[in-house]
Amino acid sequence: MPKLEYEDSSMNRKYSRKNQTIAMVIMVMIVSLVIGAIGGVGGILLMSADNSALAKKLGLSDFSNLSIPTTRTEKIVVEESNAIIDSANKVSSAVVSITQKSTVTNLFGQTYQQEAAGTGFIITNDGLILTNKHVASDLNATYSVIMSDGKTYDAKVQSQDPFQDLAVMKIDAKNLPVVELGDSDQLAIGQWVVAVGNALGRFDNSVTVGVVSAKNRKIDATDQSGGSAETLDGLLQTDAAINSGNSGGPLVNLKGQVVGINTAVASNAQSIGFAIPINDAKSAIESIKTTGRIVRPYLGVRYLEITPDIAKANSLPVSYGALVKAGTGLGSVAVIPSSPADKAGIVENDIITEINGDKIDQNNSLIKLVQKYKVGDDIEVKLLSKGKDKTVKVKLEEGK
């Protein structure tokens, strides 16, 4: 019996040691799993009271006071915010508020002062300011320009663009801050942009942020009274808030470069604004710098852009191009007498299909293609005339 008891006792010790070893292995595994879980969630679990107690039981330090590391998403948000701030700071000193005062006579012969406001930005350090034509439309009005530091200058309209909603104003000043122009052709849909302007004519240098929602938009724009209708195409669409008074202000990329001129907003929608691409204005800017006025080439026709629906409804032989056609206004003609088109033999109901090999379609309007060239340039115009293909040479002249 003693021997059996001994052997039993010896076996118990052996089993006891073996059980201790297994228990130790299990404990190490549990600790490893707990530590792995703690590391996997960045220490978040140990922040609770229960897990702090568990950590003490396991002989670990209490990590409840440790801060959670900044995530990668937070870092990206900070970088984007800094870029927006830097972009706004870079351009804001060259953004100006424009006020217009004019004398208006009503139906009863009474006169009163009318005020309007807009935005512009400085393009030369000697005081040339780019804005919208509808901001500087009244050549008899009195204009003032207020700088970002509050200083005010009298201003005059230097020139208006005959084909786009652009105008250049001049103030008598030197050594002014100027904007940097970007490349609007490189913009991508979804890219961040910043709008800066005199919102509502009261809140100068207001900054709003959004993205490029679309490109090559075409709209029929009117002023608040419903008059002065104008068709604009090739526009940028953005959801950056553009309010009354923002017209003529810059649309800026995150490098602080001007990529558009804010010009219109959809009044029956939210966050749908439009801007003229800066590349469409560069020839006007260069023209004003070299000649003192905006010089644009023109063809001299009125036309209807052909779409598949229009082609089907009118049994046209092609579903693209520009149908030379008179407008609905009294005295409107399809081809302006003595214009380049008239001299080249283009007549009403001709369909212009190409300019120097570039097809006229919904992405490339006739006027947009013509504006690629300069006054005096010779271009080849391909058209359908009475059902036959025809190519004529046209020498572009200055539009009035």
Q: What are phi and psi of 307, to 5 degrees?
A: -115, 165
Contacts for 68 with CB less than 8 Å, ≥ 6 apart: 42, 43, 44
pLDDT for res 94: 96
pLDDT for res 111: 80
pLDDT for res 271: 78
Dump pLDDT digits (tens) for 266-288: 877 677 999 999 999 998 999 99
Q: Is the pLDDT of residue 41 over 50?
A: no
pLDDT for res 110: 79
Grade residue 261 by pLDDT with cuts at 50, 70 and 90: very high
Is-contact 243 265, C-beta < 8 A?
yes
Is-contact 325 313, C-beta < 8 A?
no
Grade residue 201 by pLDDT with cuts at 50, 70 and 90: confident
**Residue 137 known to be catalytic:** no
Count the neighbouring beta carbons within 10 Å of the beta carbon of residue 236: 27
Selecting among 161, 165, 233, 350, the annotated active-site residue is: 165
pLDDT > 70 in the chain, percent: 77
Dihedral of the alpha carbons of 127, 132, 134, 137, in degrees to the nearest 10: 30
Grade residue 175 by pLDDT with cuts at 50, 70 and 90: very high
Is-contact 237 272, C-beta < 8 A?
yes
Range with lowest mean pLDDT among 56-65, 166-175, 239-248, 316-325: 56-65
Range with lowest mean pLDDT among 4-18, 205-219, 366-380: 4-18
Q: Is the pLDDT of residue 23 over 90?
A: no
Q: Is the pLDDT of residue 21 over 80?
A: no
Q: Is the pLDDT of residue 74 over 90?
A: no
Is-contact 240 193, C-beta < 8 A?
yes
Mean pLDDT, residues 5-24 taken together: 43
pLDDT for res 182: 97
Range with lowest mean pLDDT among 66-80, 123-137, 212-226, 315-329: 66-80
pLDDT for res 153: 97
Distance CA 283, CA 277 (A): 12
Q: Is the pLDDT of residue 390 over 90?
A: yes
Which tops the pLDDT comparison, 387 or 174?
Answer: 174
Grade residue 56 by pLDDT with cuts at 50, 70 and 90: low
Q: Is the pLDDT of residue 245 over 80?
A: yes
CA neighbor of 381 nearest in space, from 358, 361, 347: 358
Distance CA 296, CA 283 (A): 8
CA angle 241, 80, 211 (to 5 degrees): 35
**Residue 161 known to be catalytic:** no
pLDDT for res 43: 44
Mean pLDDT, residues 252-273 taken together: 89
pLDDT for res 113: 79
Range with lowest mean pLDDT among 120-129, 267-276, 346-355: 267-276
CA neighbor of 222 nearest in space, from 279, 274, 259, 270: 274
Which tops the pLDDT comparison, 299 or 45?
Answer: 299
DSSP letter for 175, please: S
DSSP letter for 174, please: S
Selecting among 52, 92, 134, 213, the annotated active-site residue is: 134
C-alpha pair distances (Å), 392 with each of 320, 338, 346, 395, 397: 19, 16, 8, 10, 16
C-alpha pair distances (Å), 349 with each of 287, 311, 322: 33, 13, 9
**Residue 287 known to be catalytic:** no
pLDDT for res 332: 81
